[in-house]
């Protein structure tokens, strides 16, 4: 029925309907943010006008003793994607929810239980569809990460459970999607005085279940392993940082190197990042990304560059590009301390002999940082 509807409605009218629904979706996010802000502001005024209430401070301190949040936010976006045919594959308004935090078993946080709850039904998807578009709207929240972290001594950390990938100075373009997940065990050493490198990490786990984001259905993978990674990273003074890693996945071995250089003196970029990989067996290939990062003003920042990923990579990296040779442009503008507007556009620079999933991709995004609002009112600082 959805396909028939798309054919009957003229393209111009269909686009207008999408933009109207996008505006409505963004308006709902802004309205929600405003309601929360006004509510918290009213509570703060009541607390200020009334006699001091030590119990409020005591409550925030007690909560902070046990629970820490590192991310709590909502987002809405309009996305348009066309493949190399070229055929439009996605034209949809989507929504996103993120909640990342940890429970501290001790006051110093040496033993913690870390969790990430996120929307999205796949390894490369952290967004859900809304009714604004040809697809049916849906709301999915999954426990994607849950792991125990133990720091027996300073500079030594052991992790066990479902967690994220370690990327060093790499981005998701040449590694794995930021919405991805992994199960297993990890040892991290952060003792540069004794070991030279700022970070040395070894991961042993399972990579897969790309359409099964719910960790509650992946616990059995803790008994299996098809993924090994050894990573080292080093900061080179104030000027640069680098990382190197060796990754084994189901028989395929990949080497990765990345270098980030601070270059504010050029005035063109604040930093330049070069990241690359070499798959040394099983479909040998090479790929890289060259990105420039620039803070144009205090509120406006831009990331731009060129990416080149081989066709056998597996579409498990950044879905903004996946595979092929792309121009990459991402702009971010802080409307308020808690509300950010983002615009992304990517374009394929080659005429491939086979169909690639992304020829052009455009995203219009509005993000609301609810954690920042809570922190402004004394919570989770």
CA 251 vs CA 165, 207, 245, 247, 282: distances in Å: 18, 12, 16, 10, 7
What is the tens place of the pLDDT at every residue in 190-205? 999 999 999 999 999 9
The torsion region of residue 335 among left (phi > 0), alpha (psi -120 to 50) and beta comes to alpha
Domain boundaries in the chain?
2-48+67-376
Q: What are phi and psi of 32, to 5 degrees?
A: -60, -45
What is the tens place of the pLDDT at every residue in 240-290? 999 999 999 999 999 999 999 999 998 899 999 999 999 998 899 999 999
Task: Give the span between the Cα atoms of 27 and 303, in whole angstroms.
Answer: 27
pTM: 0.84
Is 2-48+67-376 in CATH node 2.40.160.10?
yes
Q: Which of 174, 172, 86 is nearest to 352 (CA)?
A: 86
What is the tens place of the pLDDT at every residue in 38-79? 444 445 544 444 455 445 567 888 888 899 999 999 999 999
Length of the chain: 381
**Higher pLDDT residue, 91 or 34?**
91
Q: Maximum distance among all alpha carbons in the chain?
A: 73
């Amino acid at each position: 029925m959805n396909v028939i509807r798309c054919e009957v409605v003229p393209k111009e009218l269909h686009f207008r309907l999408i933009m109207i629904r996008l505006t409505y979706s963004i308006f709902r996010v802004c309205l929600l943010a405003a309601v929360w802000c006004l509510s918290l502001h009213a509570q703060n005024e009541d607390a200020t006008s009334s006699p001091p209430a030590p119990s409020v401070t005591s409550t925030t301190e007690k909560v902070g003793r046990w629970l820490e949040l590192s991310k709590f936010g909502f987002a809405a976006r309009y996305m348009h994607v066309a493949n190399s045919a070229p055929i439009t594959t996605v034209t949809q308004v989507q929504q996103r929810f993120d909640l990342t935090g940890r429970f501290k078993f001790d006051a110093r946080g040496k033993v913690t239980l870390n969790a990430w709850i996120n929307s999205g039904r796949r390894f490369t998807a952290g967004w859900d569809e809304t009714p604004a578009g040809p697809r049916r709207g849906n709301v999915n929240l999954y426990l994607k990460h849950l792991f125990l972290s133990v720091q027996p001594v300073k500079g030594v950390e052991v992790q066990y459970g479902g967690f994220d990938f370690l990327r060093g100075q790499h981005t998701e373009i040449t590694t794995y999607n930021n919405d991805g997940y992994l199960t297993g065990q990890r040892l991290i050493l952060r003792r540069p005085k004794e070991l030279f490198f700022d970070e040395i990490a070894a991961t042993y786990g399972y990579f897969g279940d790309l359409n099964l984001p719910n960790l509650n259905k992946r616990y059995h993978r803790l008994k299996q392993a098809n993924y090994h990674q050894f990573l080292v990273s080093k900061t080179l003074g104030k000027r640069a940082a680098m990382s190197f890693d060796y990754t084994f996945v189901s028989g395929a071995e990949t080497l990765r190197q990345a270098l980030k250089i601070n270059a504010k003196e050029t005035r063109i970029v604040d930093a330049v990042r070069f990241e690359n990989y070499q798959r040394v067996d099983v479909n040998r290939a090479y790929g890289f990304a060259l990105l420039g990062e620039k803070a144009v003003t205090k509120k406006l920042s831009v990331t731009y560059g060129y990416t080149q990923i081989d066709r056998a990579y597996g579409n498990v990296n950044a879905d903004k590009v996946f595979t092929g040779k792309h121009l990459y442009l991402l702009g971010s503008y802080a409307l308020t301390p808690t509300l950010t507007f983002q615009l992304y556009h990517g374009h394929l620079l080659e005429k491939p002999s086979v169909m690639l999933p992304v020829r052009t991709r455009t995203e219009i995004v509005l993000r609301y940082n609810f954690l920042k609002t809570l922190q402004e009112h004394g919570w989770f600082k």
